[in-house]
Structure 1
């Protein structure tokens, strides 16, 4: 078995050399035991600087405009990550990030909130009832509050609403505020009709836009499969563009032969 694996590994290496695939970027080192896939960047010398996250005491952290949240998982092939949303202040129905107005992303950066999130607004004022959200007494939000012991403080706050995030006003923000809803929670890919006892832990999913080719100053910044040239879609920025016959693979961060691409090292 070991010999077979070794032969397969050798064959894969030779195939890679034959098609001319070369790493064009530096992937950041693991954060403790968690891999940091390209283009995510935990330092100035690795990843893409538009995709910054932090490695803090062995844990990955995502910084929003005004707060920070732990990253619980990363799906590099689908270019998504999940954060743990803020918890409630003990014995209240107020989220701990209320002073920061909830989750607010920088819309100029390549991250946005996906439509895979089921959001529940809690402890809301009556003004929320004018929205198109599901705020009915039998809605999913009320079911969750009534069947979850840690949400008992929210039972005294009668208005809570449920909706699917993504697009429009929720692409870059899930707001908590005194004049709207003072708390929220979120679940990723929540199956319909699943008992609350079987729900996953709260999470909020972000996706990132595919990165462009690496920025360069001179040809020395690029590898042998790419050429440093001016980006026609930017103001004077230069990038390592793949040579003829190769295509930029934004998932692996390589110039790869057409059709070879992202699944090589999956």
Structure 2
């Protein structure tokens, strides 16, 4: 099962081929150690100009920052496929009051005409609030998460009379996290907060921002589009006077990668892979795996039939020997046991030799004396001659006539005979 699963994964990986073509949009260079994905733009020559962020080269060799309407926030992480990034919320000012540094700007405020908004993944903790907030739909009870946080951190906000908790992302909070003197003077935020965990496991504060999928790049002429013939600069039918680099059919625009691609995988993204090719590849891989499994099962069954036939033959031979053994149980011996009993077919123990085989005297481990017929390959006749030769070498006086008949019968079969 594990081998099949690994083969399936290998086949899927080998057949997953990206069908992207030359890009008609330029991705910006890294900002320090941070990759700047399309459509984010740090300069007029890269990305989409509606998705501006800034690379602050003076901050530790290069820090990517996001400028709101009235303040600047460092970007701590980016998820291009989800089209989201996380900024660091404003910190508390260094004094004895519970106030965040962006209070003078009334908190975080985004431009609603730009393609950025606050996501609903944020849990906002409002701190140092006035009694006016008690009439709001926020959770300002003594058991709310903001009180748990304030009591755990034991900072200046622990003595604040009132705090409130809410999930951002509603219509009134999609573009701002507001702080003010007549409401709450401080706040912090956590992304995808699991309230069942202790505060020490909440991680670092963060505020998640998402961007909407970008449209095709704006162009002034065909020169602004790619030179691979994948797109054409023409008027946008939805915006008067705006020209864009529209992909040439059958190519389609992939807003995540910023490229024209051959295939659209689904409504949420294009250019990942050709579903038809992927399904065909997976089907072929599974078919080959199934074929190999069937072959392995057939070989195993054939091997089992051979083993069972050998065991059945051995049992039948034991039954035959037991039927004429005079009440003494027959036993099948291995080649190793027979060689040991005859001292590796020692010439000193040779009872007789003839054209059809040799007969040796042997001694079992318990002291029982036996006669061992070593028949020549392919020879099943002449047992009488072999028996007579064996009896010339000291066996005649010790064997009864019935024993001689048993020796003749079993010697022809190549079995060890008890004397």
**TM-score under structure 2 length normalisation:** 0.58
| In structure 2, distance between residues paired with 1:192 and 1:139 | 10
| In structure 2, distance between residues paired with 1:49 and 1:167 | 27
Deviation at 1:201, TM superposition (A): 0.5
1:263 to 261, 266, 272: 272
| In structure 1, distance between residues paired with 2:50 and 2:38 | 11
Deviation at 1:89, TM superposition (A): 0.9
- Give the unaligned 5+ runs of structure 1: 1-10
Alignment partner of 1:78 is 2:87: no
Specify the SS of the correspondent of 2:133.
helix
Alignment coverage as a number of residue pairs = 248
Deviation at 1:92, TM superposition (A): 2.4
1:142-177 superposed Cα distances (whole Å, 9 cap, x missing partner): 00100113xx21122111000000021100000010
| Counterpart position of 1:64 | 68
Contact 1:86 1:95 in 2 (8 A): yes
| Counterpart position of 2:54 | 54
Specify the SS of the correspondent of 1:169.
coil
- Give the unaligned 5+ runs of structure 2: 1-13, 274-419
| Counterpart position of 2:180 | 177
| Counterpart position of 1:4 | none
Deviation at 1:263, TM superposition (A): 3.4
Specify the SS of the correspondent of 2:172.
helix
Contact 1:251 1:262 in 2 (8 A): no
| In structure 1, distance between residues paired with 2:122 and 2:97 | 24
User: After the TM superposition, which segments of 4 or more aligned residues of structure 1 sit over 4 Å from their partners?
Assistant: none
> Whose Rg is larger?
2
| Counterpart position of 2:147 | 142
| In structure 2, distance between residues paired with 1:132 and 1:202 | 23
Contact 1:230 1:237 in 2 (8 A): yes
1:207-262 superposed Cα distances (whole Å, 9 cap, x missing partner): 00000000011111112201111111112100000111111000000010123634
Deviation at 1:33, TM superposition (A): 1.3
Specify the SS of the correspondent of 2:92.
coil
| Counterpart position of 2:3 | none
RMSD: 1.5
| In structure 2, distance between residues paired with 1:197 and 1:52 | 34
Deviation at 1:20, TM superposition (A): 6.1
Contact 1:20 1:225 in 2 (8 A): no
| Counterpart position of 1:34 | 34
| Counterpart position of 2:105 | 100
| Counterpart position of 2:10 | none
Greater per-residue helix proportion:
2
Specify the SS of the correspondent of 2:158.
helix
Bigger RCO of structures 1 and 2 (CA < 8 A, at least 6 apart): 1
Q: Report which stretch shifted further, 170-179 or 191-200.
A: 191-200
| In structure 2, distance between residues paired with 1:262 and 1:73 | 24
| In structure 1, distance between residues paired with 2:198 and 2:232 | 55
| In structure 2, distance between residues paired with 1:238 and 1:262 | 23
| Counterpart position of 1:243 | 248
Greater per-residue strand proportion:
1
Contact 1:123 1:183 in 2 (8 A): yes
Going from structure 1 to structure 2, the CA distance change for 1:157 and 1:255 (only over 3 Å counts) comes to same
| In structure 1, distance between residues paired with 2:225 and 2:52 | 21
| In structure 1, distance between residues paired with 2:20 and 2:41 | 26
Specify the SS of the correspondent of 1:97.
helix
Q: Report which stretch shifted further, 85-94 or 116-125.
A: 85-94
